[in-house]
Structure 1
């Protein structure tokens, strides 16, 4: 696939590929294609969800060794959609709730390999790329704490769920990157 511009995001972890992509998309004209080169395995789901939430076209991903080459086409007009404000909780306050044994619903939206490496006991795991189609597995009336690696994917997941009628969503920031509590 031919790209108009290339963004090197190799070696960067979430949320940096999205942050750099957002900035680079501002330099493109509507209809132009950006190639994002990344090594973060979670970047595929991240970029798909980000493109959908901003109105850009996710064109696909090609793999060359360890490098994922993602292609996005810039849409025309205003690409930022009106987003619901998702409340946040600090990792410290969230950890307090978990350690007190409060009965809370926790949704981990990281990729399978990240989840399998370590996760909070009792969480529900739905990778970001599956949230839109699997959100129905959760109760819309529950207060749901959404967590990822840094807080960016969980924000995107919560936005997706809010559009489906979930009203009690809380984004855990920064996420599992800094989690020091019990894990499985």
Structure 2
């Protein structure tokens, strides 16, 4: 089962040094406008199991514009044996103040 997490939970996990990889599912232009430090950009249309194999042992946290694609990615890849979570609220389009 995958979990749905908030931005605050994600920040807590990162500060605690948890073994996770944040996968930003938005298009390259959206990613370049703003992304979380350390995020890996794999647009949803290009997402496949092979691209994620280097991160197989880590918790994969998916994020997208509003949360729908990240939920689908987390669910589908969890069914394939990956440890996954979804950022439920979506990714801000610009750096928060």
User: In structure 2, what is the Cα distance between the partners aligned to 1:164 and 1:131?
Assistant: 13
Unaligned stretches of 5+ residues in structure 2:
none
CA positional deviation for 1:161? 1.8
Unaligned stretches of 5+ residues in structure 1:
1-84
Q: 2:36 aligns with which of 102, 120, 131?
A: 120
**Higher strand proportion (structure 1 or 2):** 1
TM-score by length of 2: 0.77
Question: Which residue of 2 is the match for residue 71 of structure 1?
Answer: none
Task: Say yes or no: does 1:95 pair with 2:6.
Answer: no
CA positional deviation for 1:126? 0.6
Once the two structures are superposed, residues 84-135 of structure 1 have per-residue CA deviations (whole angstroms, 9 ceiling, x without a partner) of: x53111122212333x262531111111111011101111111101112543
Once the two structures are superposed, residues 56-83 of structure 1 have per-residue CA deviations (whole angstroms, 9 ceiling, x without a partner) of: xxxxxxxxxxxxxxxxxxxxxxxxxxxx
CA RMSD, Structure 1 to Structure 2 (Å): 2.4
TM-score by length of 1: 0.45
User: In structure 2, what is the Cα distance between the partners aligned to 1:122 and 1:105?
Assistant: 8
**Higher helix proportion (structure 1 or 2):** 2
